[in-house]
Amino acid sequence: MSDGFEIQYPGNALGNAAPAPATPRNVPNRGGEQNASGAALREQFADAIERVDVVWGVTNVYVRPERVLDIVRWLHDDSTQRYDYLSDVTAVEYRDLEAPIEVVWHLRSLPFRRELRLKTQLPKNKPLEIASVWSIYKGADWLERECFDMFGIRFIGHPDLRRILMWEQYREGFPLRKDFPLRGRFSRAEQLRQALAANPEARYSMEELSIADAFEDLPTDMRKRLKGGERTGE
């Protein structure tokens, strides 16, 4: 990765064997042709792969949570896989209260034109923690922040894990969890009071604004706010 930069054209690792890109038709709900990476993962990480299945033409690989970082790193670095694009990091909570929360990574290999869905299950009776893939894909930064904001899953190793959609002082919990009421936990009046109490001009820290050098040139009130470490002015 670090030695030189090479432009990847979609499918260029397949050479002449690359099929022309086409919209898949008549894709079965379950079953169908499995992604070659599924078998490769079984060979490489036999003890970490729980099961592999194909849903709507996309291969799902269920892996053990403690090995996620190794597996993603191998998928990214190995010359036969080259998953160089992370489409999405998200989570699923099922209506069944006993069912574990799933964290999902959507990986795309541009050179091989492959799509892989990596899933891991986090039981609810333990702290929801999983390794961050930020060290491999820098684009995981905001995806993991959103996942943390909505589900409360902590990504260990993330450089700046805080809320991204809701404001940072949001106290009502994690909105996409099944135990979260649709209207929120607080009354409308209380929600409005808390929202209006936020200072819209003080949402960013000094590091985010990259203004540490120009600190002396800032207005007095802003300097005072930033010096106090204020972020949202509540």
Partner 1 sequence: MGLTPRPDHRVVEYNPSSQEGWVATKLDFLVNWGRANSLWPMPFGTACCAIEFMATAASRFDLARFGMERMSFSPRQADVLICAGRVPFKLAPVIRRIWQQMPQPKWAIAMGACASSGNIFDNYAVVQGIDTIIPVDVYVPGCPPRPEGLMYGIMMLQEKVKRERMNDKTIRAEMEPDPKSKLYIPPPVIDELSEPFGNSVHQTRSGL
Whole-number minimum distance, CB 142 to partner 1, in Å?
16
CB-based burial of residue 26 (10 Å sphere; 0-12 exposed, 13-18 middle, 19+ buried)?
exposed
SS3 194: helix
Q: Which of residues 118-177 bind partner 1 (CB under 8 A)?
A: 165-167, 172, 175
* Residue with Cβ nearer partner 1 (7 or 196): 196
Number of residues interacting with partner 1: please give it, by CB under 8 A: 26
Would you count residue 189 as binding partner 1 (CB under 8 A)? Answer: yes
Q: Using CA atoms, how far apart are residues 117 and 115, in angstroms rounded to an integer? A: 7
Cβ 146 to partner 1 shortest distance, Å:
14
Among 33, 66, 78, 190, binds partner 1 (CB under 8 A): 190
How far apart CA 39 and CA 48 sit, in angstroms, is 13
Q: Does 182 bind partner 1 (CB under 8 A)?
A: yes
Distance CA 125, CA 98 (A): 9
Question: Are 84 and 110 spatial neighbours (Cβ–Cβ below 8 Å)?
Answer: yes
Q: Is 8 in the site for partner 1 (CB under 8 A)?
A: no
Non-local CB neighbours of 73 within 8 Å, separated by 6+ positions: 136
Closer residue to partner 1 in complex, CB, 44/194:
194
Q: Interface with partner 1 by CB under 8 A: which range of 73-81, 82-90, 183-191, 215-223?
A: 183-191
Evaluate whether 86 touches 139 at the Cβ level (below 8 Å): yes
Q: Minimum distance from CB of 197 to partner 1 (Å)?
A: 8
204 in contact with partner 1 (CB under 8 A): no
